[in-house]
Structure 1
Amino acid sequence: MNAPEARITRRSNLDAAQIGRTAPLPISWYFDPGWFEREMLLLFEKGPGYVGHELMVPNVGDYYTLPWTEHGKVLLRGEQGVGLLSNTCRHRQGLLLEGKGNAQNIVCPLHRWTYDLNGKLLGAPDFDPTPDCSLPKTALRNWHGLLFAGARDPTADLADFPLAADYDFSGYVFDKAIADELPFNWKNFLEIFLELYHVEAVHPGLQRWVDAGNYEWGFGSRWSYQIMGVKEELRSQISPNYTRYRDAVLAYTGGRLPKYGTVWSILYPNVMIEWYPCALVVSTLIPRGPEHTTNIVEFYYPEEVQAFERHLRPPAARPQGAVAGRRGRHRPVPLAARGRHDPPARLDPPRDGAAADGLGRLRPARPSAA
């Protein structure tokens, strides 16, 4: 999809026969602690391990503690770049930093042990010589500013990802991150994210912004993307928020329609990157248990939009709108617990087939007929 006026009718590079060979996951896989432990070992401990974006700490001395680690880890920019450090003092395990800010050194509030920006212990009152116990530091990999601390190399996994230029964070700034606690399995979230079947029913504002019948799917071995075109040249908006947003975007671009309506992409198993006109959003699912997931949602905007044109932030990519949309999108999911002993339905793909192609990445192949 190269231009907003181009009509792409349900295009996907996934073999339709592959979808036809898949089956729903067993219900037990959403609730079984043993299966959950296998997923954590095989998918997450061996995954890319996204931790944040370098825009969280744009200047030397900037720090940002990771709330989903209970602030036990901190991103910190030193003279040599961004590092991921332990945020607990080596002396009595006191919390060193909290939230975000800027510091010349890291000073423990309990006993004034002092570390430099690389985690090296510089001084410890009444200790002579100074103990040799620096803060543990984790090596990071960088893809377009996204930072990863896991076993997999995201630059290799995304080497053939064709939309890298659309996720260029140059000129963007970090606004904020929010944590949404979800009372269901992480796969429930992805099963909705990885299909377009729900868009018109669940997103009353977005459904008039994007054309859910004009889309393109793309799949690689470790990623997929979903592009949706703009709907009817944005002429008809039923939501006041989207009406104001449309008018602001067209004024900002001199009347030019956006390149896309939206782009939703995923680096498996759990990092989602969303493109909207004048916004980029990164969401990361952190499984806490079979029936508890934390979703960390980060918001990035062009610098001039963040500073002067905040009305240009898309409703779907504003903190309050994003959380409301995600909660609304998944409201029925906790009720699945009531049917955990029911046999899964044997459903063929919907008639608009490719709208749900992404589900094929989460589902096993059906046994072949004898």
Structure 2
Amino acid sequence: MAQIAPGDWIRNTVPLDELDFDALNLKIPVERYSSLGFQEHERTRVWMIVWQIVGRADELPQAGDWKVYTIFDQSFIIVRGRDEKIRGFVNACRHRGNALCEGKGRAKRFTCPYHLWTFGIDGKLQGVGRPDLVGSIDKDAHGLVEVPVDTFAGFIFLNPDPDAKPLAEALGRSVIDGLSPYKLDEMTPVGMDVREELNCNWKVVMDAFSEGYHIIGVHPELLSVIDLQAGNSRHGVYGDHGMAVSPFEVKNTANCSVEQQVQGVRDLPGTFPTVAEVLPMFEQMVNRYRDAAGELMLPKGVTVRTLLQQATRETLTLKGLDVSGLSDDQMGDSQGWFLFPNFFMTIRAGEATTIMAFPHPDGDPNRCVWHVTAYMWLPTAFRAEHRTDLVEVTEPGTYPYFLALQQDYDQMQRQQVGLRNRGMKHISLIREEASVARFHAVLDRYLADPA
């Protein structure tokens, strides 16, 4: 078999018109967004058995660094061991079940404050309070209960199910091979790392970021740079996960002069801030094709889009990022990746924005918690200086999201108001929302009664 060139797997994805719509349900029951019974079903059939992202590996840089992850009423400790391996444990003392930790920290061991039983960061029982009162005890049988934990692309994944299949198998080869060249594990939160409660179901968030159709109503300013031409998007389907990509360029290039297209690229930082660092190189490349009078004449095979791609590649290479595994399309096109159940990411060469949505800890299906982070690739020497710390929003509506994200923030909570109406029995999806339908199809498969 001939070797596939870097990035060519994207061109092998499926155009929208070729997707099998007969296999998708375009009518989604409304109760799944507001029913306590439905959420409890999700809790047992989804959240307790799937791999889910619980943080970044660089949050735990040293041995003994730990953090607590909670999903519904289940609590886990994630800790980096002295052997550099990150492990996960049920957050409960093996003696009487007392919770060991809250929040995050660094420790050489975990000591239960109830009866002073002590556990190593490897989970093994090291000692008990007043051994003379305890008597003989098998320490090997009383260590912390371990749960599967693994890492990929710099993210920490945890699965509450002790019998879960390996993470690599759950993600699949296509996801691993598709995302690895972006060097996500080397990226740093820059500019935004926010966690906030929202008044909507967690699936409303996943739905919103799985389709671009809402741009016409919610983000009209993006219509100048994102082409919503029917059938223009392409889709990759990888088991439970998926990816969608549309060409990233100034809209209606056939009806715009070359100078108008160049100006469109100059305007991109208003929507995609990181494009700003590429503009100096882009301008240099554009000016190579200007005549003595300053008129821009591009030869056959050279377009404003290809110049932006080349400028992006050279700029990132000069910064020190290895982009050899990425195609020219990946220099500019923004792909939307969805990892079941609750992870969405837009990614371009050198940058990514991730959005995760979790059921609200209080159990109300009409509420959730979202976590939004913007990442950039920076040379090692600059990562600590530019790293953005996590912001936990305590007063709803006070965090200054950028325009498009603020628009989504408002719209998703507005949608939940409508979804709570009992007169609504289902929502109706259109073909452009195929990714939304696929998400619910995967969810339905998990929720189906076992054979």
TM over 0.5: yes
Aligned equivalents of 2:52, 2:428: Cα separation in 1: 34
User: Which segment is superposed worse, 205-214 or 271-280?
Assistant: 205-214
Between the aligned partners of 1:260 and 1:155, the Cα distance in structure 2 is 28
CA contact (8 A) 2:198 2:369 kept: yes
Deviation at 1:35, TM superposition (A): 3.1
Distance 2:24 2:69 in 1: 41
User: Which of the pair is proportionally richer in helix?
Assistant: 2
Identity %: 20
- Cross-structure match for 2:293: none
Which residues of 2 match residues 216-365 of structure 1 at below 5 A?
216-232=234-250, 235-236=263-264, 241-242=270-271, 245-251=274-280, 256-257=311-312, 259-287=331-359, 288-298=363-373, 300-304=375-379, 306-308=383-385, 320-321=401-402, 324=406, 326-337=408-419, 339-342=421-424, 344=426, 349=430, 353=431, 355-362=432-439
Q: Structure 1 regions of 5+ residues with no counterpart?
A: 312-317, 365-370
C-alpha spacing 1:283/1:246, structure 2 compared with 1 (3 Å): closer
Out of 155, 173, 183, the residue aligned to residue 168 of structure 2 is: 155
Deviations 1:14-33 (A, max 9, x none): 73451696331122333333
> 2:269–2:276: 8 Å Cα contact kept in structure 1?
no
CA distance in 2, matches of 1:72, 1:343: 35
Tell me, yes or no, if the aligned pair for 1:61 and 1:104 is still in contact at 8 Å.
Answer: yes
Bigger shift: residues 178-187 or 192-201: 178-187
Given the alignment, which residue of 104, 113, 127 partners 1:100? 104
* Per-residue deviation, 1:82: 0.3
Residues in 2 aligned to 1:285 and 1:324: alpha-carbon distance in whole angstroms: 16
Pick closer, same or farther for the CA change 1:202–1:29 going to 2, 3 Å: same
C-alpha deviations, 1:245-273, integer Å up to 9, x for none?
Answer: 43234458997137134222112232323
**Post-superposition offset of 1:62:** 1.9
Q: Deviations over 1:111-166 (max 9, x none)?
A: 65432211223233433468633222212244334323143544223223362234
Q: Does residue 12 of the first structure (1) align with residue 15 of the second (2)? A: yes
Pair 1:203–1:18, CA change in 2 (3 A): same
Looking at structure 1, the residues matched to 437 and 174 of structure 2 have their Cα atoms a distance apart, in angstroms, of: 20
Question: What is residue 445 of structure 2 aligned with on the other side?
Answer: none
Tell me whether 1:87 sits opposite 2:91 in the alignment.
yes
Q: Retained in 2: the 8 A contact 1:205–1:239?
A: no
Deviations 1:176-201 (A, max 9, x none): 86433233333322222221111353
In the alignment, is residue 185 of structure 1 matched against residue 226 of structure 2?
A: no
Q: 1:173 to 1:28 in 2, by over 3 A?
A: closer
**Inter-partner Cα distance in structure 2 for 1:259 and 1:65:** 37
Which amino acid in structure 2 is aligned with residue 165 of structure 1? S
TM-score by length of 1: 0.74
CA distance in 1, matches of 2:401, 2:181: 24
Identify unmatched segments of 5+ residues in structure 2.
251-260, 285-307, 313-329, 389-398, 442-451
User: For the pair shown, which has the larger CA radius of gyration, 1 or 2?
Assistant: 2
Query: Which residue of structure 2 aligns with residue 202 of structure 1?
Result: 218
**Separation in 1, partners of 2:56, 2:352:** 12
Cα displacement (A) at 1:358: 0.9
The range that moved more, 194-203 or 28-37, is 28-37
Any idea what SS the aligned residue of 2:28 has?
A: coil
Task: Please report the RMSD computed on the Cα atoms of aligned residues, expressed in angstroms.
Answer: 4.1
**SS of residue in 1 equivalent to 2:205:** helix
> 1:278, 1:22 → 2: CA distance?
36
| Equivalent residue letter for 1:194 | S
For 2:295, the equivalent position in structure 1 comes to none
Query: Which TM-score applies when normalising by structure 2?
Result: 0.63
Change in 2 beyond 3 A, CA 1:17/1:276: closer
